[in-house]
Structure 1
Amino acid sequence: MGESGQAGNQDPKEPTLHQRIQGDIENKIVSGEWPVGFRIPFEIDLAKQYGVSRMTVNKVLTQLARAGLIDRIKRSGSFVSQPHTQSAVLEIGDIRSEVESLKLAYDFRVIERIKHRASPADRLRLEVPASASVMDVTCLHRAGGKPFCLEERLISLDTVPEAEDALFTEITPGQWLLRQVPWSSAEHRIHASAADAATAASLGVEVGTACLVIERRTWSNSGPVTQVKLTYPGDRHALTATFAPSS
């Protein structure tokens, strides 16, 4: 079949058909092109559109349903579900507190900690000059012994030089920064993403699994402090916010 033939010649850097279908549907949902309640095209129609088997489409829709992006109703079809996120997240949260609120044991480990000169991508992420020194820190947070969140953080050593000597063995990078640096402003970006091979391996999920991603940048009066990407398996996390009418 064309599906297996394409898979055999797949460039490792190119998304698989499974990932492409899932990504296309996620993007339509997240962008609002497919609003809440929108009926997803039937499996047979998606299979024809992408030239794959209905089984492949069924697996994609099953993953999206587990992630809470769609509702599958027997004999009626699949529909875009009400999103878990009720509004923008306004606080800089603590992952330990999130886990402990679930009555689960919390632990974390540092996977990688590297100091280097800011690359072009780093300068874009953190808005620092070409001469800036930065530190990459990657951590895995676990809940009840299972992967809960993958943290990929970039820290400006020009703004927070003390971070160069911090090992982050007893306290997470996020909590360490909150204790060391008074932040003045923050920016959040929340979106859905399909897990790539490295992310899937860290979180113990299949490649292409729908994940919830929170990206945040914080600044102090001295300049940019950190940019962090927090990736959660979509079926293990939801965001809520409490707010009141402005006076």
Structure 2
Amino acid sequence: MTVSQTIAGANTELSLHQRIVNEIEGRILSGEWPPGHRLPFELELAEQYGCSRMTVNKAMAQLARTGLIERRKKSGSFVIQPHAQSAVLEISEIKQEVEGLGKTYRYKRASREMRKATSDDRALLDLSASGKVVEVTALHYAGERVFCFEERLINLAAVPEAAEETFADTAPGSWLLQQVPWSAAEHKIKAVAADDDIASALSIPPGSACLVVERRTSMQGTFITHVRLTYLGSSHELVARFTPSQTGQI
């Protein structure tokens, strides 16, 4: 075999490997193969593409590295549920997170109540005994699945306009970002097991792992809102981006 024949064979193998990657990637990203779908076994793909199993194996390894599939020993390869990313140090809209996944966003208010603040409310928002709040619970959808369950308190002393807002069509977070400036925020992040209420809201079994993000925002020392966002743990991740300080360490 000549050198030119060897190179030609290598190029054919490479192009076929990339063709397999591109075609499988296209089926996943188009939704033809949804999360949880089992891909054909490597031997089936080798027969389908008329190539060696090694070529297919390389293609599957590349797809796994890019986070599109998960390879399970003896079980095969499966399409991974895409992970949404939230920036820990930013306040972003849930709609943007969902659309970043290529999914259709939908909002549904579950409840709204205007009432006198309880002792728990007063502790969360540093309210006086006569303080009043609007409490809103809501569901945020990615396609047909619940993406996030929101539980929010709004301080009426800081945002009196909330008394007239029903939040039937507009998510509280989006509305607040448009209405009220804020100067400081704090996040608390924790992993929890879904209780009966959360399990029902997210349509998951009780005890499922969930990621909870709690946030308070304030303006010049007055707390505006407290929100508790609960995500299914397997479909969400948090990302922090920062620069080193003078005293920072690696």
User: Is 1:97–2:96 an aligned residue pair?
Assistant: yes
**1:117 and 1:134 in contact (8 A); partners too:** yes
Q: Which runs of 5+ in 2 are unaligned?
A: 1-71, 74-82
Q: State percent identity of aligned pairs.
A: 50
Give how far 1:200 is off: 0.4
1:110 corresponds in structure 2 to 109
Q: Normalising by structure 2, report the TM-score.
A: 0.63
- Partner of 1:238: helix, strand, or coil? strand
Q: Normalising by structure 1, report the TM-score.
A: 0.63
Give how far 1:167 is off: 1.6
2:131 corresponds in structure 1 to 132
Tell me the distance in 2 between the aligned counterparts of 1:237 and 1:209.
14
Instruction: Tell me the alpha carbon deviations over residues 42-96 of structure 1, each in whole angstroms, 9 at most, x when there is no partner.
Output: xxxxxxxxxxxxxxxxxxxxxxxxxxxxxxx99xxxxxxxxx9x99811012100
- Partner of 1:96: helix, strand, or coil? helix
**1:159 and 1:225 in contact (8 A); partners too:** yes
Tell me the distance in 1 between the aligned counterparts of 2:86 and 2:168.
33
| 1:20-39 correspondence to structure 2 within 5 Å | none
Give how far 1:222 is off: 6.5
**1:106 and 1:145 in contact (8 A); partners too:** no
Tell me the distance in 1 between the aligned counterparts of 2:232 and 2:129.
34
User: Is 1:150–2:138 an aligned residue pair?
Assistant: no
Q: What's the Cα RMSD here?
A: 2.1
User: Is 1:175–2:174 an aligned residue pair?
Assistant: yes
Give how far 1:131 is off: 0.6
2:232 corresponds in structure 1 to 233
- Partner of 1:98: helix, strand, or coil? helix
Q: Which runs of 5+ in 1 are unaligned?
A: 1-72, 75-83
Larger Rg: 2
Tell me the distance in 2 between the aligned counterparts of 1:88 and 1:179.
20
Q: What amino acid is aligned across from residue 117 of structure 1 in structure 2?
A: K
2:199 corresponds in structure 1 to 200
- Partner of 2:148: helix, strand, or coil? strand
**2:138 and 2:151 in contact (8 A); partners too:** yes
Give how far 1:134 is off: 0.4
Tell me the distance in 1 between the aligned counterparts of 2:126 and 2:221.
13
Q: Give the structure, 1 or 2, with the largest relative contact order (CA under 8 Å, sep 6 or more).
A: 1
